[in-house]
């Protein structure tokens, strides 16, 4: 998927009307831990605390242009995508219904409702919630917003443009993979700018569908996605996203629950930024690959900071094992 630079720039200009460019900082303590010049792209600093808002804005703007009469949309989410759609829909006067799985983050659910969405809890995981949303779209004649779509990619690519233009000559960029819009956007930005940085996807060991699919060269679903990193909890890969990842990613790194939790503690200790599990996973991967990236210029995408207080307190209270 090669998206012309002018198309990405137009989308970025629209995003920036609502979301100012987020910072990227080179943190010396993190650099020392990894043995590389380590930059963090702080997508936890957006109005919803995650990168997804960029895609929601672009998608719903295009939808309104294509169908001015649209009144209602529905989507499935574990939180950040839902907040994105809720905020963007409210700005455009569109009713948004968000379906989240049972047991989803209490605080993400509260935020989605606060942004104006009708929140429905259904299913035991993201895939089950998605299937419920598909059925609801048919029953209530709502526009179904997939969690992966080319327009979402076009919007989230704006943070890739920001990062690559702010930090020259990056060697490696670690990006978490949920359904795939984030890494697809970074790949699109790199290609549009004609750069050569390796883009490395990161998944949870307990939700390895994209790692398995990358190794097999074709979609491989899993029976469960039981990870505390809700943004990575996907068990059925999107074929379009996988195609882009197969062509544009250097590799995929799998990180354990313990590595994710440790990276959350490190980010707070070294930078005093709060990272949810998915947002900390790129740092976990960089730490795992210390020998591979030693001496290089590396970026990790802190994709979001939306973690429930009780869970974060539990993670912070854990003792370090090394």
Among the listed residues 99, 187, 105, 188, the one whose alpha carbon sits nearest the alpha carbon of residue 147: 99
Residues 223, 139, single domain; the answer is no
Higher pLDDT, residue 159 or 91: 159
Residues 100, 213, single domain; the answer is no
Q: Count Cβ atoms below 10 Å from residue 118 Cβ, excluding itself.
A: 14
Q: Compute the average pLDDT of residues 49-71.
A: 94
Assess whether pLDDT exceeds 80 at residue 173. Answer: yes
Rounded to the nearest integer, the mean pLDDT of the chain is 95
The answer to whether 19 and 58 have CB atoms below 8 angstroms apart is no
Q: Which helix (H) or strand (E) holds 143?
A: strand 143-144
Q: Is residue 322 part of a domain?
A: no
Among the listed residues 222, 244, 246, 252, the one whose alpha carbon sits nearest the alpha carbon of residue 234: 222
Residues 130, 232, single domain; the answer is no
Non-local (6+) Cβ contacts of 188 within 8 A are: 1, 2, 3, 8, 153, 154, 157, 160, 244
Assess whether pLDDT exceeds 70 at residue 24. Answer: yes
Assess whether pLDDT exceeds 80 at residue 46. Answer: yes
Residues 16, 106, single domain; the answer is no
Which pLDDT belongs to residue 221?
A: 95
Last residue of a domain, one of 110, 144, 178: 144
Last residue of a domain, one of 144, 167, 192: 144
How many domains is the chain partitioned into structurally?
A: 2
Residues 235, 177, single domain; the answer is yes
What CATH number corresponds to the domain at position 81? 3.40.50.1100
Which pLDDT belongs to residue 79?
A: 82
CA 88 → CA 57, 85, 121, distances in Å? 5, 5, 21
Q: Compute the average pLDDT of residues 263-288.
A: 98
Among the listed residues 139, 145, 4, 141, the one whose alpha carbon sits nearest the alpha carbon of residue 62: 145
Instruction: Band the pLDDT of 319: cuts 50, 70, 90.
Output: confident
What does the longest C-alpha to C-alpha distance in the chain come to? 58
Domain enclosing residue 124, as ranges: 53-144
Residues 32, 116, single domain; the answer is no
Residues 243, 302, single domain; the answer is yes
Q: Compute the average pLDDT of residues 82-89.
A: 94
3-state secondary structure of 119: strand
Which pLDDT belongs to residue 286?
A: 98
Q: What is the per-residue pLDDT across 202-261, written as a single tens digit (0 to 9) for each?
A: 999 999 999 999 999 999 999 888 899 989 999 999 999 999 999 999 999 999 999 999
Q: Is residue 178 part of a domain?
A: yes
Residues 189, 263, single domain; the answer is yes
**How would you classify the pairing of strands 24-26 and 251-255?**
unpaired
Residues 183, 204, single domain; the answer is yes
Residues 199, 66, single domain; the answer is no
Instruction: Band the pLDDT of 21: cuts 50, 70, 90.
Output: very high
Residues 182, 220, single domain; the answer is yes
Rounded distance between C-alpha atoms, residue 171 and residue 188, angstroms: 16
Residues 73, 13, single domain; the answer is no
- Tell me the DSSP string of 8-52: HHHHHHHHTTTSPPPPEEE-HHHHHHHTSEEEEEEGGGSTTSBTT
Assess whether pLDDT exceeds 70 at residue 1. Answer: no
For the entire predicted model, the pTM comes to: 0.94
Rounded distance between C-alpha atoms, residue 293 and residue 63, angstroms: 42
Tokens describing residue 319: 């003792």
Last residue of a domain, one of 144, 164, 184: 144
């Amino acid at each position: 998927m090669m998206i012309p630079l002018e198309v990405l720039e137009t989308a970025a200009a629209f995003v920036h009307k609502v979301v100012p460019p987020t910072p990227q900082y080179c943190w010396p303590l993190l650099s020392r831990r990894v043995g590389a010049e380590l930059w963090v792209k702080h997508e936890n600093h957006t109005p919803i605390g995650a990168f997804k808002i960029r895609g929601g804005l672009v998608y719903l703007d295009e939808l309104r242009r294509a169908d001015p009469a649209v009144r209602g949309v529905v989507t499935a989410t574990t939180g950040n995508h839902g907040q994105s759609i809720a905020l963007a829909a409210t700005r455009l006067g569109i009713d948004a219904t968000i379906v989240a799985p049972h047991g989803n983050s209490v605080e993400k659910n509260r935020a989605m409702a606060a942004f104006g969405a009708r929140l429905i809890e259904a299913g035991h995981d993201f895939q089950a919630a998605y299937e419920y949303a598909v059925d609801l779209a048919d029953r209530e004649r709502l526009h179904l917003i997939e969690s992966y779509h080319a327009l979402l990619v076009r919007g989230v690519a704006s943070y890739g443009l920001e990062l690559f233009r702010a930090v020259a000559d990056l060697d490696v960029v670690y990006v978490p993979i949920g359904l795939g819009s984030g890494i697809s956007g970074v790949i699109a930005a790199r290609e549009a700018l004609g750069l050569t940085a390796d883009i490395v996807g990161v998944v949870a060991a307990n939700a390895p569908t994209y790692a398995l699919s990358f190794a097999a060269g074709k979609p491989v679903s899993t029976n469960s996605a039981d990870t505390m990193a809700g943004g990575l909890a996907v068990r059925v890969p999107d074929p379009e996203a996988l195609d882009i990842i197969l062509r544009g990613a250097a590799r995929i790194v799998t990180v354990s629950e313990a590595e994710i939790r440790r990276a959350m503690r490190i980010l707070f200790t070294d930078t005093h930024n709060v990272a949810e599990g998915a947002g900390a996973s790129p740092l976990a991967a960089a730490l795992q690959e210390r020998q591979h990236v030693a001496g290089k210029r590396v970026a990790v995408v802190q994709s979001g900071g939306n973690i429930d207080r009780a869970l974060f307190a539990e993670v912070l209270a854990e003792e370090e094992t090394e």
